[in-house]
Structure 1
Amino acid sequence: MSTVQIKEQIAALVKELKQHNYNYYVLAMPSISDYDFDIKLKELEALEKQYPELVHPDSPTLKVGGEITKSFKTVVHKWPMLSLGNTYNAQDLIDFDQRIKKAIGDNFQYVCELKFDGLSISLTYENGKLLKAVTRGDGTKGDDVTANIKTLRSIPLSVPHQNVPEHFEIRGEVFMHKAAFEKLNQERIEQGEQAYANPRNFASGTVKMQDSAEVAKRPLDCFLYFLYADQNPFKTHWESLQAVKNWGFHVSEESKLCNTIEDVLLFIESWETKRFHLSYDIDGIVIKVNSYAQQQELGFTAKSPRWAISYKYKAQEVETTLEKVTYQVGRTGAVTPVANLKPVLLAGTTVKRATLHNANEISRLDLHENDTVLVEKGGEIIPKVIRVNLEKRKADAAKINYLENCPECGTQLIRKEGEAVHYCPNDEGCPPQIVGKMQHFISRKAMNIDGIGSETIEALYQKGLIRHISDIYLLKNHETTLKSMDRFGEKSVNNMLDGIERSKQVPFEKVLFGLGIRYIGETVAKKLAFHFKNIQALQNASFEELITADEIGERIAQSILEYFADEKHQQEINRLKEIGLQFEIEEKEVILQSSKLAGQTFVISGVFEQYSRDELKDIIESNGGKILSGISGKLNYLVAGDNMGPSKLEKANKLNIPIITDAALLKMLEE
Structure 2
Amino acid sequence: MPQNQPVSHLTEKQARAELARLADVLGKANIDYHGEDLPTVDDAAFDGWKRRNQEIEALFPALKRVDSPSDQVGARPKDGFGKIRHSQRMLSLGNAFSADDVQEFVARVKKFLSIDPDQALRMTAEPKIDGLSLAVRYEEGRLVHAVTRGDGEVGEDVTANAKTVADIPQSLIDAPDILEVRGEVYMTHADFAALNETQAQLRQKPFSNPRNAAAGSLRQLDAEITRARPLRFYAYAWGELSEPLGVTQSEAVMRLQDLGFSTNPLFINCETLTELIAHYAQIERERSDLGYDIDGMVYKVDDLALQSRLGFRATTPRWATAHKFPAELAWTELLDIDIQVGRTGALSPVARLNPITVGGVVVSNATLHNEDYIAGRDSKGGKIRSGKDIRIGDWVQVYRAGDVIPKIADVDLSRRFAESVVFDFAAKLKQEGIEGSRDPGDAVWRYSGSEPLPDLAIETLRHFVSRQAFDIEGLGAKQIEQFYHRGWICTPVEIFTLETRFGPDQLQQLSKLEGWGIKSAKNLFDGINEKRRIALHRLIFALGIRHVGEGAAKLFANRFITWQAFEDAMCAAIPDSEPWAALVDIDGIGAVMAKSVAAPFQDSERLLAIRNLVAQLDVIPAEQIDTSSSPVAGKTVVFTGTLEKMTRAESKARAESLGAKVSGSVSAKTDILVAGLGAGSKAKKAVELGIFTLDEDGWISLIEEL
Give 1:281's aligned amino acid.
D
Match of 2:27 among 3, 18, 38: 18
After superposition, what is the alpha-carbon deviation per residue over 1:595-644, rounded to whole angstroms, capped at 9, x for unaligned?
xxxxxxxxxxxxxxxxxxxxxxxxxxxxxxxxxxxxxxxxxxxxxxxxx9
1:89 paired residue number: 98
Cross-structure match for 2:57:
48
In structure 1, the residue matched to 2:415 is: 393
Deviations 1:2-54 (CA, angstroms, capped at 9, x unpaired): 76554433222211111111111111111111121122122222333444443
Superimposed CA distance per residue, residues 221-264 of structure 1 (whole angstroms, 9 cap, x where no aligned partner): 11001134132041111112222112111111111111111111
Matches within 5 A, 1:353-432: 372-374=395-397, 389-396=411-418
How do 1:204-223 and structure 2 match up within 5 A? Answer: 204-223=215-234
Give the structure 1 partner of residue 168 of structure 2. 155
Q: Matched residues in 1 for 2:152 and 2:330: separation? A: 36
Cα distance in 2, alignment partners of residues 130 and 294 from structure 1: 30
Indicate which of 200, 219, 226 corresponds to 2:237: 226
**Contact preservation (8 Å) 2:177, 2:242:** no
Distance 1:55 1:252, change over 3 A: same
Which runs of structure 2 are paired with 1:260-279 in the superposition (5 Å)?
Answer: 260-279=272-291
State how far apart, in whole Å, the 2-side matches of 1:168 and 1:40 are.
Answer: 36
2:149, 2:316 → 1: CA distance? Answer: 14
Between the two proteins, the alignment pairs up a number of residues equal to: 384
In 2 relative to 1, CA 653–376 (structure 1 residues): closer, same or farther, beyond 3 Å? closer
Which one-letter code corresponds to 1:236 in the other structure? T
Task: Provide the C-alpha distance between the structure 2 equivalents of 1:291 and 1:26, rounded to a whole number of angstroms.
Answer: 34
1:210, distance to aligned residue in structure 2 (A):
0.6
Matched ranges for 1:137-152 at <5 A: 137-152=150-165
Query: 2:535 is matched with which residue?
Result: none
**Alignment of 1:73 onto 2:82:** yes
Amino acid in the other structure paired with 1:171? R
Q: What residue identity is the alignment partner of 2:397?
A: L
1:385 shift after superposition? 10
Cα pair 2:126 2:299 within 8 Å, conserved: yes
Once the two structures are TM-superposed, the CA of residue 76 in structure 1 deviates from its matched residue by 1.3
What do the CA deviations read for 1:483-515 (whole angstroms, capped 9, x no partner)? Answer: xxxxxxxxxxxxxxxxxxxxxxxxxxxxxxxxx
Tell whether the 8 Å contact from 1:373 to 1:385 is kept in structure 2 after alignment: no
The 5 Å alignment of 1:91-170 reads 91-102=100-111, 103=113, 105=115, 106=119, 108-160=121-173, 162=174, 164-170=175-181
Does the aligned pair in 1 maintain the 2:235–2:263 contact within 8 Å? yes
CA distance in 1, matches of 2:311, 2:245: 20
From 256, 259, 283, the equivalent of 1:244 is 256
Structure 2 CA distance for partners of 1:157 and 1:98, relative to 1, 3 Å: same
Matched, 1:287 2:304: no
C-alpha separation in 1, matches of 2:362 and 2:309? 50
Letter in 2 for 1:214: I
> Could you say if the C-alpha distance between residues 3 and 262 of structure 1 is closer, same or farther in structure 2, counting changes exceeding 3 Å?
closer
**AA paired with 2:50?**
L
Structure 2 distance, partners of 1:645, 1:170, is 44
Q: Is the 8 A contact 1:367 1:388 kept in 2?
A: no
Choose the corresponding residue for 2:325, options 289, 310, 313: 313
Give the percent of matched residue pairs that are identical in Structure 1 and Structure 2. Answer: 32
Structure 2 residue corresponding to 1:27, chosen from 36, 45, 48:
36
**Aligned pair in 2 of structure 1 residues 86, 28: CA closer, same or farther (>3 Å)?**
same
Call closer, same or farther: CA 1:385–1:191 in 2, change over 3 Å.
farther
Q: Counterpart in 2 of 1:58?
A: 67
For residue 235 of structure 1, the aligned residue among 230, 242, 247 is: 247
Q: Secondary structure at the match of 2:266?
A: coil
Whichever residue aligns with residue 411 of structure 2, its letter is N
Shift of 1:65: 2.8
Letter in 1 for 2:300: K
Q: Which amino acid letter does the alignment assign opposite residue 21 of structure 1?
A: N
- How far apart are 1:192 and its partner, in Å? 6.1
Residue type of the alignment partner of 2:238: L
1:596-607 → structure 2 map (5 Å cutoff): none
| SS of match in other structure, 1:171 | strand
What is the alpha-carbon distance in structure 2 between the residues aligned to residue 304 and residue 253 of structure 1? 25
Judged with a 3 Å threshold, the aligned counterparts in structure 2 of structure 1 residues 648 and 387 are, in CA distance, closer, same or farther, namely farther
| Distance of aligned partners of 1:386 and 1:653 in 2 relative to their CA distance in 1, 3 Å threshold | closer
Q: How far apart in 2 are the matches of 1:312 and 1:273?
A: 14
Q: Label 1:316 to 1:152 Cα distance change in 2 as closer, same or farther (>3 A).
A: same
Q: Contact 1:338/1:355 (CA < 8 Å) preserved in 2?
A: no
Is contact 1:175–1:203 with CA below 8 Å preserved after alignment?
A: yes
Over 3 Å counting, the alpha-carbon distance change for 1:257 and 1:303 in structure 2 is same
* 8 Å Cα contact 1:337/1:356 also seen in 2: no
| TM-score calculated relative to the size of structure 1 | 0.51
Tell me how far 1:390 sits from its aligned partner: 4.3
In the alignment, what sits opposite 1:590? Answer: none
Name the structure, 1 or 2, with higher relative contact order (CA <8 Å, separation 6+).
2
Task: Pick closer, same or farther for the CA change 1:144–1:104 going to 2, 3 Å.
Answer: farther
Cα gap change, 1:235 to 1:199, in 2 (>3 Å)? same
Matched position secondary structure for 1:392:
helix
1:584-623 equivalences under 5 Å are none
1:541-552 → structure 2 map (5 Å cutoff): none
Q: TM-score when scaled to structure 2?
A: 0.49
Residue aligned with 2:255, SS: helix
Over 3 Å counting, the alpha-carbon distance change for 1:27 and 1:392 in structure 2 is farther
The verdict on how the C-alpha distance between 1:73 and 1:31 changes in structure 2, with shifts beyond 3 A counting, is same
Matched, 1:296 2:308: yes
* Distance of aligned partners of 1:80 and 1:385 in 2 relative to their CA distance in 1, 3 Å threshold: closer
Cα distance, 1:104 vs. partner?
5.3
* Residue ranges of structure 1 left out of the alignment (5+ in a row): 325-335, 341-345, 348-353, 400-552, 556-643, 655-671
Per-residue displacement from partner, 1:516-536 (whole Å, max 9, x unpaired)? Answer: xxxxxxxxxxxxxxxxxxxxx
Question: What secondary structure sits across from 1:64 in the alignment?
Answer: coil
Which residue does 1:648 correspond to in 2? 519
Q: Distance in 1 between matches of 2:110 and 2:323?
A: 19
Assess, with a 3 A threshold, how the Cα gap between structure 1 residues 375 and 35 changes in structure 2: closer, same or farther.
closer
User: Residues 93 and 51 of structure 1: is their aligned pair in 2 closer, same or farther, counting only changes over 3 Å?
Assistant: closer
How is 1:422-501 mapped onto 2 (pairs within 5 angstroms)? none
Gaps of 5+ in 2: 1-9, 336-352, 375-389, 422-475, 479-514, 526-706
Do the aligned partners of residues 93 and 651 (structure 1) sit closer, same or farther apart at CA in structure 2, a change above 3 Å counting? Answer: closer
